[in-house]
Amino acid sequence: MLNGIAVDTHCKRIANRLGLSNEKEPSKIEQDLLKMFDPSDYKDINHLFIWHGRYTCKARNPLCNECTVKHLCSEYKKNF
């Protein structure tokens, strides 16, 4: 079991867009995320953020209309 959530560029972007964290510093974003998820899920969360950021919630052209979590997303609610 992991002790933390790796906040890389994908995780940072997605956490901010979804509204899971309004912080900009990775360590603060991680603290917000750690409060939301069970430690047994940290490993899966890491993978989910990477895959979601790589293939759907891309930095430049996020595929919001195809996104399976758009109903939960702050950014989506602002823009559509």
Distance CA 53, CA 45 (A): 12
Q: How far is the CB of 34 from ligand SF4 (least distance, A)?
A: 20
Q: Which of 12, 20, 45, 76 binds ligand SF4 (CB under 6 A)?
A: 76
Q: Which of 5, 11, 17, 21 binds ligand SF4 (CB under 6 A)?
A: 17
Alpha helix locations (H) across 1-80? 9-18, 26-36, 42-55, 74-79
Polymer length in residues for the chain: 80
Binding positions for ligand SF4, rule: CB under 6 A: 14, 17-18, 56-57, 62-64, 67, 69-70, 73, 75-76
